[in-house]
Structure 1
Amino acid sequence: MIEEKDLFKPEEKRYRILMASDFFYPNVGGVENHIFQLSQCLIKRGHKVVVCTHQYKKRKGIRYMTNGLKVYYIPKQPTFRQTTLPTLLNSLPMFRNIMIRERIDIVHGHQATSCICHETITCAREMGIKTVFTDHSLFSFNEIGSFNLHKVSNYSLAEINHVICVSHTGKENTSLRAKIHPIKVSVIPNAIDASQFTPDPSKKTPGEITIVVMSRHTYRKGVDLLIQLIPIVCKKVPNAKFVIGGDGPNRVNIEEMREKYNLHDRIEMLGFVPHELVRNVLTRGDIFLNTSLTEAFCIAIVEAASCGLFVVSTAVGGVPEVLPSHMIKFAKPDAEQLAQAVIDSIGPSQEVDPWLFHSQVKNMYNWDDVAERTEAVYDKIQFDVQQPLVNRIHRYFNCGTWASKAFCFALALQFLFMLILEWLMPANEVDIAPDFPLKQFLKNKDKLNQSWTKSYKVIERANEK
């Protein structure tokens, strides 16, 4: 909980930020956690933050979260992997209304696969609002799905004020596929709340080497590598045990391998593990194993190192940038080499000082630092000037022979549609939403806690009677 003394002075520059993405709570994942934690730290620094996402089953409308974080669960149904269907004009009136009501200065979109992210950025572009985009993933250049995604990024990010990537590898990937000059791309890594990932050596089983795996069981996460290397490690290391958390379409393949090699006592399948319980699983281990085939950052290995585990990982994407060499051992995405890396790491894992690892990770990755660097990006883009329509159209001519013509048509159509909306629903007639009284809330929270405690006691007494 933020304390009143932690807030910045009111005379400092204060932005009104709209975080936009298909991925947010109650769904659980790296992007969802990133948006929430960054928003909380920006609120702590004196800014107003609003989140825009799609509805989750019955959760729709406006909700308030910790410290007055306002969330718009707009009436759009997710279709595939928690993403909504893209629209060109249908959602613009709704996004425009939200931005006017909340007096938004900056729209910050997250994740390239999010349609809400791209739609809010294009809407903000027509309204002259500054835009920032954070890319959390890597995408290939030889798949049809990725090719279509690159074209969408070409269009929505053509006039972006700034892009943030979580690794230098991600920066190169995003610059190439979205055709953005590297000078407009910054690298700000992910972070963790280290207080939630503390070591507990008493949870380890004496005489056993416990190897923890926490990931979705999908091809991209290297589940095929995991299936091949486990029998190799179990054969060469008699006291090795695997604790596997997570779920996914390939989970049945792991279970079949366990049946085939009769490894029921050596492989513990936990299934889906809620994020608040991940630390309890990690503290049981000596080694954390990551078999991903592509990763922009991999927050899981940071959480594991914070809990005092030695990490073994495939050397892919931005993973080699994340941890120093004394915390991690790399191998190529090959089952034999990865199994040997696990075996070679048994000795170093027994010599780890868990609290030293935790202290180092806490200093390297914290959300206050991420928020400060993100705020510096917000300060930088305030000097950007909105270009006239003619100059804007020229930016789309390098997006491909046919795509450039379609993009110019879409740009002109959106421009005209926004003029019609302004005529039908003038901005000065839209009701302005009041800000959450955070300082007043923090002043009165002790009184509120006391009154809530008294209410609970009255209810308990009534229940006893």
Structure 2
Amino acid sequence: MVNEAVTYACEMGLASIYTDHSLFGFDDIASNILNRVLKSTLPTVGAAICVSHTCCDNFILRAHMLPSIVHVIPNAAHTSKFPVINQHHLIATLFSIERITVVVVSRLVYRKDGNKKLSTEEMMERERLHGHVEFLGYVPHSSVRDVLVRGNVFLNCSLAESFCVAILEAASAGLFVVSTNVRGVPEVLPPEMIHHADPNVDSLVESLSCVQYPEKSIQLIHLSFITEVARETVTVYDRAFSGVCGVVCLLGITLHFVVFLVELWQPRYLIDAGPDLCIDKDKKHSNDNENS
């Protein structure tokens, strides 16, 4: 749908900006087909925005875009939706209690629980972790903050991420973050707010065992961060819209040519036009009065 919108925007002489926030490979059929579609449609865009440098490099290789028009602007969380209860209380609690509560908010399978939930529950049964692990199931986004503030540390176990918004939300809620250091994750938070681990069990356990809570306000940092993100995004749009006049592209000419060929094959006069439905309002009003 996005590629279709970009195509018609070019046809109408409108500026378009493409935003990419996903990582795709080069070794499977689906990714190769999508990459070829991007090569055909995206040369018409005025600019592109990627959420991380890792995403930017991947996007330039896939779409064969000019690096000069691809901008890196990270995602931003709405931090006012994830207020910290009491920063000093959280710090004191983290170092005073014997048990630290680790929160994991993620999809076990894309957009649903799937078989991974059953496998995780079986593992909990096998390791006898009933009193240590609580499964909440599906959590609506409006309730995510209430789940986050129940814990002390947020754990992210992603194997591939161009940018992880969940990390931003957890940090905004006052949690220290432990995450795998895959792809774009190291670009999300400053080192004092996150502990990176290799994507394996031993490294994650080691990182959780040496958690250190930051002594600064995470909330204030991200409030200024989202302002900078908005400013950079507006700048990219202003630059793209300033060069709209006189935009003519090969794809637009091709669409005109296709329409011309279709009309040669199926002329318009051979197509039955649907008649306009004209209703006399006065006559309709009189009929309504008679029926009443």
TM-score (normalised: structure 2): 0.80
Match of 2:259 in 1: 417
Q: Which residue of 2 aligns with 1:216?
A: 107
- Alpha-carbon contact 1:306-1:362 (below 8 Å) kept: no
2:47 alignment partner, one of 157, 162, 178? 162
1:388-399 to structure 2, matched below 5 A, reads 388=248, 392=250
Aligned match of 1:146: 31
Higher relative CO (CA 8 A, sep ≥ 6), structure 1 or 2?
Answer: 2
- One-letter amino acid of the structure 2 residue matched with residue 417 of structure 1: V
Q: Give 2:219's aligned amino acid.
A: H
- In 1: Cα distance, 2:49 partner to 2:98 partner: 45
Is residue 315–residue 332 contact of structure 1 (8 Å, CA) maintained in 2?
A: yes
Q: Which residue of 1 aligns with 2:84?
A: 199
- C-alpha displacement at 1:358, in angstroms? 1.7
What whole-Å deviation, never above 9, does each CA across 1:9-34 have from its counterpart, x for those lacking one?
A: xxxxxxxxxxxxxxxxxxxxxxxxxx
Change (3 A) 1:419 1:370: farther
Asked whether the 8 Å contact 2:18–2:45 carries over to 1, the reply is: yes
Contact 1:190 1:299 in 2 (8 A): yes
Q: Distance in 2 between matches of 1:388 and 1:119?
A: 17
Aligned length: 258
**SS at the partner of 2:101?**
strand
The match for 1:179 is: 64
Aligned to 1:316: 182
Q: CA deviation at 1:411?
A: 6.8
Q: The residue matched to 1:157 in structure 2 has which SS?
A: helix
Contact 2:13 2:248 in 1 (8 A): no
Determine helix, strand or coil for the equivalent of 1:271: coil
Q: What is the letter of the counterpart of residue 253 of structure 1?
A: S
Answering whether residue 196 of structure 2 is matched by residue 330 of structure 1, we say: yes
Q: Deviations over 1:19-55 (max 9, x none)?
A: xxxxxxxxxxxxxxxxxxxxxxxxxxxxxxxxxxxxx
Q: Which residue of 2 aligns with 1:33?
A: none
- Counterpart Cα distance in 2 of 1:160 and 1:388: 12
SS at match of 1:209: coil
- Considering fraction of residues, name the structure with more strand: 1
CA distance in 2, matches of 1:256, 1:414: 59
Is residue 251 of structure 1 aligned with residue 110 of structure 2? no
Within the candidate set 231, 234, 243, 1:383 is matched to 243
Once residues 252 and 282 of structure 1 are traced to their aligned partners in structure 2, the CA distance between those partners, rounded to angstroms, is 23
Following superposition, the deviation at residue 372 of structure 1 comes to 2.8
In 2 relative to 1, CA 388–278 (structure 1 residues): closer, same or farther, beyond 3 Å? closer
CA distance in 1 between partners of 2:190 and 2:54 (Å): 17
Structure 2 CA distance, aligned partners of 1:197 and 1:249? 30
Distance across 1 between alignment mates of 2:152 and 2:45: 44
Q: Alignment partner of 2:103: what SS?
A: strand
Identity of aligned residues (%): 41
> Whole-Å Cα distance in 1 between the matches of residues 257 and 148 of structure 2?
52
Cα distance between partner residues in 2 of 1:156 and 1:147 = 15
Cα–Cα, structure 1 residues 379 and 418, in superposed 2: closer, same or farther, change >3 Å? Answer: farther
Q: Tell me, in whole angstroms, the C-alpha distance in 2 between the residues paired with 1:419 and 1:325.
A: 59
One of 294, 300, 305 as aligned partner of 2:166: 300
2-side partners of 1:208 and 1:418: how far apart? Answer: 72
Paired position in structure 2 for 1:363: 224
Measure the CA separation in 1 of the matches of 2:230 and 2:222. 17
Cα pair 2:163 2:188 within 8 Å, conserved: yes
* C-alpha spacing 1:269/1:413, structure 2 compared with 1 (3 Å): same
Partner of 1:20: none
Give the aligned partner of residue 279 of structure 2: none
Is 1:119 the counterpart of 2:4 in the alignment?
yes
1:248/1:279 Cα in 2 relative to 1: closer, same or farther (>3 Å)? Answer: farther
Contact 1:167 1:189 in 2 (8 A): yes
- Describe the superposition over 1:403-440 as per-residue Cα deviations: whole angstroms up to 9, x where unpaired: xxxxxxx972465439989xx8xxxxxxxxxxxxxxxx
| Structure-2 change in CA distance of 1:388 and 1:287 (3 Å) | closer
- Is the 8 Å Cα contact of residues 104 and 156 (structure 2) preserved in structure 1? yes
Runs (5+) with no aligned partner, structure 1: 1-115, 222-245, 394-409, 425-465
1:105 is matched with which residue? none
What corresponds to 1:406 in structure 2? none
Q: Which residue of 2 aligns with 1:243?
A: none
Root-mean-square deviation (CA), in Å? 2.8
